Structure 1
Amino acid sequence: MSEPGPRPTSSGPGRVLVAVYAIFALSATARALVQIVGRFSEAPLAYVLSLAAGVVYILATIGLAGRRPWHRRLAWAAVAFELVGVLVVGTLTVFDAGDFPDDTVWSVYGRGYGFIPLVLPFIGLWWLRRTGRPG
């Protein structure tokens, strides 16, 4: 008898997590594109970081929603990168706000988004670990 594999990350409560990531993917990417097209010269670093965050959220959504083994690896990489990104950008915007004349998704640890960008990767990593065990 073969041992059961990991549970799908998009099942049960994971559906809510996928939905939240999808909303952030859409909102962060759309906001960044509007900012880049309309006023890139005002805060190029902030707008490029917002676009990078949007791409990370897209990749995390794809990874969490998928059911193939590579989807899980993608989700792990994207959510881990997200955590590092929000911590690094959050810290930089607290201590050196001059380089960020406009907010990014991860500015001050996601303050403009109710700190969800700070909490979300912890929940994502916990969910990936929890569903990674045979169920």
Structure 2
Amino acid sequence: MSEQNPASEQNPAVDGAATRSGPGRLLVAVYAIFALAAGARAGVQIATRFSEAPLAYTLSAVAALIYILATVALALGGRTSRRVAFAALSVELAGVLIVGTLSLADADAFPDATVWSGFGRGYAFIPLVLPVIGLYWLRRTRPAGAGSAPAGTS
């Protein structure tokens, strides 16, 4: 019978794999799917009709890059990766809120939808909820001794 470390039972980040274990695996998988979906969509739009909506298509490409960064950072889960994930998720949340608001306030500026248009309405609002869940997961799995500071700060 092997002994288990009680600290790792209370805080899974002790082993360094917390962001990619348990529910974190699902989070990483969803981010990977969104990276693929947003990247493919942006690639096709930019290659075939960029002049129709350059802002929207560029924002979709930026979203894809942020999703890729978040996927990798969450999957790695080390100290630096957690900081990168915190930054990526924060930028993503800000992007969804800003682009979502602007796309509703000035529809003419967005003749075609982005991943973040209408707060992610075209993707069942997952782009709005996903960074909130990701930030919560980073906070929940922060290493022992990290105090109450956010996961991306020291």
Shorter-normalised TM range: over 0.9
Q: Which residue of the partner structure matches residue 45 of structure 2?
A: 35
- Candidates 118, 125, 140, aligned match of 1:130: 140
Q: More relative contact order in 1 or in 2 (CA 8 Å, sep 6+)?
A: 1
Q: Residue type matched to 2:56 in 1?
A: A
Deviation track 1:51-104 (CA, whole Å, cap 9, x = no partner) reads 000000000001100032111111000000000000000000010010000000
Instruction: Please give the secondary structure, in 1, of the residue aligned with 2:141.
Output: helix
Q: Which residue of the partner structure matches residue 63 of structure 1?
A: 73
Structure 1 residues without counterparts, runs of 5 or longer? none
Matched, 1:92 2:114: no
Instruction: Please give the secondary structure, in 2, of the residue aligned with 1:103.
Output: coil
**4+ runs deviating over 2 angstroms:** 3-6
Distance 1:42 1:112 in 2: 19
Distance 2:34 2:43 in 1: 14
In the alignment of these two chains, the number of paired residues is 133
Matched, 1:11 2:21: yes
| 125-134 or 56-65: bigger deviation | 125-134
Structure-1-length-normalised TM-score: 0.94
Identity rate, percent: 65
Distance 1:99 1:17 in 2: 32
Matched, 1:112 2:122: yes
